[in-house]
Amino acid sequence: MFTDDAGKGGIAAGGPGNSAESNRRTGGDLVQLVTPGGERVSHPEFDPWLQDVTDEQLGALYEDMVVIRRIDAEATALQRQGELALWPPLLGQEASQIGSARALRDDDFVFPSYRDNGVAYCRGVNPEDIVKAWRGNALAGWDPYTVNVATQQIIIGAQTLHATGYAMGIQNDGADSVAVAYFGDGATSEGDVNEALVFAASFQAPVVFFCQNNHWAISEPVRLQSHIQIADRAAGFGIPSMRVDGNDVLAVMAATRIAIDRARHGGGPTFIEAVTYRMGPHTTADDPTRYRDANELEDWAAKDPIARLKSLLERKGLLTEDLETAVAAKADAVAKALRAGTINMPEPQPMDIFKHVYSTPNSSLERQQDHYSRYLASFGDPAEAASEEGAR
Amino acid sequence: MIKEFRLPDLGEGLTESEIVAWKVAVGDTVALNQIIAEVETAKAVVELPSPFAGVVAALHEQPGTVVEVGKPIVSFEVEGDDGGPAGSETAGGAGADAPAKREPNLVGYGAVLENSGRPSRRARSFAAPAVAVAAPAPVVEPVAPVVEPVASAPAVAEALPAAPVSAERPRSTPPVRKLAKDLGVDLAAVTGTGEHGLITRDDVRNFVGGGDLPVAPQDLAGVSTQAPAQGERETRTPIKGVRKFTAAAMISSAFTAPHVTEFLTVDVTPTMELLAKLKASRAFAGYKLTPLTIVAKAVLIALRNHPTLNTRWDEATQEIVQYNYVNLGIAAATPRGLTVPNIKDADRMSLLELSTALTELTDTARAGKTAPAELSGGTISITNIGVFGIDAGTPILNPGEAAILALGAVRKMPWEYQDEVALRQVMTLSLSFDHRLVDGEQGSRFLQDLGAILSDPGMALAMV
């Protein structure tokens, strides 16, 4: 029945001109509401979506961004200190993650990639749970249903299919929540993402495709991957899209609100391209100086998302000493807790591997579990084993 | 208490890393996450942040050493015991002889602690076979995998289209890039002397020592190559790098030296014939000879009788500097913009030497590897606009030089030859000179001599 609905009212009905109907934009100019210098620019289409944002909320967005940058820096340091096996830094993408995550309702469901640690933080994931999988202490750091965030997807773009499927489930339930898939520019070249876009359009599923175009798919620049703007790829699937300044937290928030509202009210999927920049390496095991021009990095440093919001707050007279002190204290506290939580994290036990395989008892698994525990017992005391070896 | 920091696996499965440099010394007080060392892994040079706040008690490894993952590299004196990594306390003397409990080395793999081979299994308790047969140990011969030579591989590689991106960055290693970054050196400007042109530490140091080019090194790579977005009617590119430097040089030259340009069109057929003969000769086999080679030689010969074109106006001392040598500049279009490297003491070179020097100079410039020393100290320049199919121009002087010659394209034209019209190979020479230093007469005579040599190379005999 949903395909019928799409046929009647959806944009699949009659060629590309459909995107011009109503207020749906497709790609188009980059929307920016705050300039790199911190000046608020008015925008007739986007401004109405931000009318309820209070001064206090602006301060909260600032705090969020500072805190997740701090989590990111601390986790990077923890990796260098041998406490984490790997870490994918999000430096530079704070506005994209905070602006979008703060536009969601608690019952909306997020399908993140491995870099969306700021999104996880906003959804209430404990920072030490964010790093748990990167330490190798668990296969996943949290229970998706307590925070409505799926575990971070390592396979590039696979989560867009999960999000689309979840959104189709929302339709079947008759609920009004929305699924949000987070992915990067590189993922848009993956088959999974293209399939997800096809299904989302066909079924007019309530899903938002939130693409952080951070310009680099590891070492592959976006200009090699796509000869058109990433946002314009959505048009080929009949999905309306927006292209926003991903370093402008307000532009990102407004765009996400527009997309979420459309999905919530039966308007189907929307694709958002947040144009941002990965200031750090792909992961801590990467050396971006091998492929990236230092000038490019410098250009983007001038568009820093946190500095930009800070300037806006300053212009509005909101950047009080109290705010700065409180934000710094919060960042310090979160970093400290993250560090302590990480280095004192209990080691996983061998038998833990059987814990989350089935939600109900399974006799076959129980047999394996029994065999494995007896196998482990055959080693006896490890210290004893070592001396036996020494004696030989 | 003393806490040790063991080298972690810094990048997904590495077994060792090299200590590049220590950023702290014994006795230094360090804060948590303060950078204490630079370490090179097989993947990258990374900075190590201190895992503790405390005082450096010992550095266990020297810079330059390759350290196995899991080995202690630094010890700290830390007050109390608040939240150091579990299991990172020093093992003291006990660890040396006691068969240590296998302790995981923080996170990651690759950590090999001694005595940690395969854990031995306890013997099973079923009855042993009655007769123990001393079976010979099975001999396992390693079988080398047979690799079929892939004949088509090179062909495939050649068939691939050339990458559309700009020239590849010169080869170097992470620590060298780090050194260059610290010294503010742009590696694109450094010539590598290592294997396959690899840039070494010494190359970077020599570059810094020998470089006297007044260019901010970072700027060299500054020209943006972004393609215009569809529908964009103008593209704005920040003025930086070579473009900026070139502009400043051109302005200073154009507005300080009063330029005069003269043209002379010459029948260079005899020169082209000479060129063909030389190319065919055994002495020049394997050398690259072009009209530019001959013109360069002709300029050097003509300069002997017209030294005023090889001078410099020294405004500061109010003196005219007469060079008694010629450093011949050659304008080169490089991926990063216009540069004018010069051939030192070109006047003392034979034609063979000159052709070699010219080839090297252009190859180096095109690879973007011209050293600053080659860019400074020129005394007169040549620009070969003929390669673009252009006939003539009014070149602007390379700052500090008195003359520049533009070489036009060699064209077959109807030309007067032995009182008849014949199809001849013709070239236009454009000579700009600084009128403060060179009068019209001197400039004209120089150009005249140059033309005489090119239209009859034998004339050179009369000038040397």
> What's the Cα-to-Cα distance from A72 to each of A185, A335, B153, rounded to whole Å?
21, 9, 44
pLDDT at B206: 82
Q: Give the B window 199-218 contacts with A, CB below 8 Å.
A: 218
Dist CA B299 CA B447 (whole Å): 9
- For the segment(s) B243-463, the CATH number from 3.30.70.1880, 3.40.50.720, 3.30.559.10, 1.25.40.10 is 3.30.559.10
The number of residues in chain A equals: 392
Q: What are phi and psi of B394, to 5 degrees?
A: -120, 85
Q: What are phi and psi of B448, to 5 degrees?
A: -60, -50
B29 touches A at CB < 8 Å: no
* Cβ-based contacts of A69 with chain B (< 8 Å): none
CB contact under 8 A, A344 and B86: yes
Report the residue from A293, A379, A390 with minimal CB separation from B119. Answer: A379
- In whole angstroms, give the CA distance from residue A140 to residue A130: 9
Per DSSP, A307 falls in state H
**What stretch of H or E contains A183?**
strand A179-184
**How close does chain A come to B424, measured CA to CA in Å?**
49
Of A84, A294, A390, nearest to B107 by CB-CB distance is A84
B113-143 pLDDT per residue, tens: 444 445 555 555 554 444 444 444 444 444 4
- How far, in Å, CA of A144 to CA of A16, rounded? 37
Is pLDDT of B21 > 80?
Answer: yes
CB contact under 8 A, B43 and A378: no
Identify which of B47, B343, B84 has the alpha carbon closest to the alpha carbon of residue A76.
B47
Q: How confident is the model at residue B384 (pLDDT cuts 50, 70, 90)?
A: very high
pLDDT, one tens digit per residue, over A68-111 is 999 999 999 999 999 999 999 999 999 999 999 999 999 999 99
Q: Among B8, B347, B440, which residue's Cα sits nearest to residue A285?
A: B8
Q: How confident is the model at residue B203 (pLDDT cuts 50, 70, 90)?
A: confident
For the segment A204-226, the average pLDDT, to the nearest whole number, is 96
Q: What angle do CA B123, B126, B130 make, to 5 degrees?
A: 105
CA–CA separation, B79 and A247 (whole Å): 42
Preferred mutation among B14, B120, B186, B244 to probe A, highest tally of A CBs within 10 A: B120
SS3 breakdown of chain A: % helix, strand, coil, rounded to 5?
A: 55, 10, 35
B6–A295 C-beta distance less than 8 A = no
Residue B13, pLDDT > 60, answer yes
- Give the pLDDT confidence of A248-280 residue by residue, as tens digits: 999 999 999 999 999 999 999 999 999 999 999
Q: Which of A24, A135, A278, A339 is catalytic?
A: A278
**What pLDDT, in 10s, does the model give residues B402-424?**
999 999 999 999 999 999 999 99
A349 burial level (CB within 10 Å; 0-12, 13-18, 19+): exposed
CA distances from A249 to A245, B318, B394 (A): 8, 61, 53
User: What's the CA gap between B243 and B245, in Å, rounded?
Assistant: 5
**How far A81 CA lies from chain B's nearest CA (Å)?**
6
Does the beta carbon of B240 lie under 8 angstroms from any beta carbon of chain A?
yes
With a CB cutoff of 8 Å and minimum separation 6, the contacts of B181 are A289
Residues of chain B with CATH 3.30.559.10: 243-463
A346 touches chain B (CB under 8 A): no
* Contacts A73 to B, Cβ<8 Å: 33
Cβ distance B119 to A228 less than 8 Å, yes or no, reads no
| A28 has a chain B CB within 8 A of its CB | no
Candidate from A229, A295, A389 with C-beta closest to B221: A295
Q: Chain B: nearest CA to A285, how far in angstroms?
A: 4
In chain B, the percentage of residues whose pLDDT exceeds 90 is: 43
Give yes or no: A62 in active site.
no
Bridge partner list, A34: A40
Q: The pTM is what?
A: 0.57
A5 touches chain B (CB under 8 A): no
Three-class DSSP category at A275: strand
Distance CA A262, CA A241 (A): 12
Per-residue pLDDT at A291 exceeds 80: yes
| Residues A70-79: tens digit of each pLDDT | 999 999 999 9
pLDDT at residue A93 in the model:
98
Asked whether the beta carbons of residue A390 and residue B115 sit closer than 8 angstroms, the reply is yes
Quote the CA–CA distance of B13 and A176 in Å, as a whole number: 45
Whether A85 contacts chain B with CB within 8 A: yes
Per residue in B424-434, pLDDT (tens digit) is 999 999 999 99
Q: Tell me, which fold does domain B148-216 have in CATH?
A: Dihydrolipoamide Transferase (4.10.320)
Separation in Å, CA of B106 to nearest CA in chain A: 5
| pLDDT on residue A59 | 96
Residue A347 to residue B48, Cβ atoms within 8 A: no
Per-residue pLDDT, B310: 95
Q: Is a pLDDT exceeding 50 seen at residue B216?
A: no
Q: What's the pLDDT score for residue B12? A: 77
- Does the CB of A74 have a partner CB in chain B at under 8 Å? yes
**Greater model confidence, B67 or A1:** B67
- On whether any CB of chain B is under 8 Å from the CB of A89, the answer is no
Q: Does domain B2-121 have CATH number 1.10.540.10?
A: no
Minimal Cα distance from A295: which residue of B?
Answer: B222
- 3-class DSSP state for residue A76? helix
Q: CA gyration radius for chain B?
A: 34
Chain B within 8 Å of A81 (Cβ-Cβ)?
yes
At B107 the pLDDT is: 54
Give A290's contacts in chain B (Cβ within 8 Å): 169
- Neighbour tally for A45: CB within 10 Å: 13
Q: What 3-state DSSP class applies to A164? A: helix
Nearest Cα neighbor of A243 from A24, A25, A31 is A31
**A380 shares contact with chain B (CB less than 8 Å):** yes
Rounded Cα–Cα distance for residues A106 and A145 (Å): 11
d(CA B123, CA A392): 14
Q: Average pLDDT of chain A?
A: 90
The number of beta carbons lying within 10 Å of the beta carbon of residue A340 is 13
The answer to whether A376 contacts chain B (CB < 8 Å) is no
> When comparing pLDDT for A296 and B102, which is higher?
A296
CA distances from A163 to A115, A141, A179 (A): 17, 19, 6
Nearest Cα residue to A332 out of A67, A124, A129, A98:
A67
The residues of chain B that CATH labels 4.10.320.10 are 148-216
Please give the ipTM for the structure prediction: 0.76
Distance CA A185, CA A211 (A): 6
Tell me what the pLDDT averaged over chain B comes to. 79
| Record: contact B124-A85, CB cut-off 8 A | no
> Among A19-33, A301-315, B263-277, B339-353, which stretch is predicted with the lowest mean pLDDT?
A19-33
Pinpoint the residues of chain B covered by CATH 2.40.50.100.
2-121
Cross-chain CB nearest to B99 (options A285, A380, A387)? A387
Tokens coding B128 = 């042993």
Q: What is the mean pLDDT of residues B393-400?
A: 92
For residue A385, which residues of chain B lie inside 8 Å, CB to CB?
119-122
| Side-chain-facing half-sphere of B331: CA atoms under 13 Å | 21
Longest CA pairwise span in chain A (Å): 83
* Distances in whole angstroms, Cα of residue B408 to Cα of each of A248, B392, B431: 53, 5, 11
Least confident of A333-347, A356-370, B78-92, B329-343: B78-92
A20 falls in which pLDDT band (50, 70, 90)?
very low
- Chain Cα centroid distance, residue A112: 4
The residues, ordered by sequence, that sit 6+ positions from B189 with a Cβ below 8 Å of its Cβ are B207, B217, B220, B368, B369, B370, B371, B372
* Contact partners, residue A344, CB within 8 Å, separation at least 6: B83, B86
Tell me whether residue B97 is exposed, middle or buried, using C-beta atoms within 10 angstroms of its C-beta: 0 to 12, 13 to 18, 19 or more: exposed
Residue B224 pLDDT exceeds 50: no
pLDDT for position A228: 93
Chain A CB contacts of B104 below 8 Å:
347
Q: In this structure, what token pair is assigned to residue A293?
A: 């021009």
Chain A within 8 Å of B322 (Cβ-Cβ)? no
Measured between alpha carbons, how far is B49 from B68 in angstroms, rounded to an integer?
Answer: 18
Cβ within 8 Å, pair A81-B5: yes
Question: Are A289 and B47 in contact (CB < 8 Å)?
Answer: no
Note which residues in 91-110 of chain B have CB less than 8 A from chain A: 99-102, 104-108
| Distance between B371 CA and the closest CA of chain A, angstroms | 21
Structure tokens at B29: 């007080």
* Sheet bearing B45-49, strands edge to edge: B45-49, B35-40, B16-22, B66-68
Instruction: Give B416's strand partners.
Output: B421
Which of the residue ranges A4-8, B53-57, B168-172 has the most confident prediction, judged by mean pLDDT?
Answer: B53-57
pLDDT score of B81: 57
Mean pLDDT of A54-80: 97
Nearest to A157 by CA among A121, A181, A123: A181
In the structure encoding, which two tokens stand for residue A27, read together?
């790609």
Q: Is A213 on the interface with B (CB under 8 A)?
A: no
Six token digits for residue B323? 């060079």
SS (H, E, C) chain B: CEEEEECCCCCCCCCEEEEEEECCCCCCEECCCCEEEEEECCCCEEEEECCCCEEEEEECCCCCCEEECCCEEEEEECCCCCCCCCCCECCCCHHHHCCCCCCCCCCCCCCCCCCCCCCCCCCCCCCCCCCCCCCCCCCCCCCCCCCCCCCCHHHHHHHCCCCCCCCCCCCECHHHHHHHHHHCCCHHHCCCCCHHHCECHHHHHHHHHHCCCCCCHHHHHCCCCCCCCCCCCCCCCCCCHHHHHHHHHHHHHHHHCCEEEEEEEEECHHHHHHHHHHHHCHHHCCCCCCHHHHHHHHHHHHHHHCHHHCEEEECCCCEEEECCCCCEEECEEECCEEECCEECCHHHCCHHHHHHHHHHHHHHHHCCCCCHHHHCCCCEEEEEHHHHCCCCCCCCCCCCCCEEEEECCCEEEEEEECCEEEEEEEEEEEEEEECCCCCHHHHHHHHHHHHHHHHCHHHHHHHC
- CA A125 vs. chain centroid, Å, equals 13
Q: Whole-angstrom Cα distance, residue B393 to residue B385?
A: 8
pLDDT greater at residue B284 or residue B147: B284
Q: Is B399 exposed, middle or buried, given 0-12, 13-18 or 19+ CB atoms closer than 10 A? A: middle
Q: Are the beta carbons of A85 and B107 separated by less than 8 Å?
A: yes
pLDDT band at residue A207 using 50, 70 and 90 as cut-offs:
very high
Alpha helical stretches, state H, A102-155? 117-122, 127-135, 144-147
- Residue in A closest to B40 by C-alpha: A287
From the number of C-beta atoms within 10 Å of its C-beta (0-12, 13-18, 19+), residue A144 rates as middle
In 3-state terms, what secondary structure has residue A136? Answer: coil
User: Catalytic site residue A135?
Assistant: no
| Amino acid letter, B352 | L
Confirm if A343 and B84 have CB atoms less than 8 A apart. yes
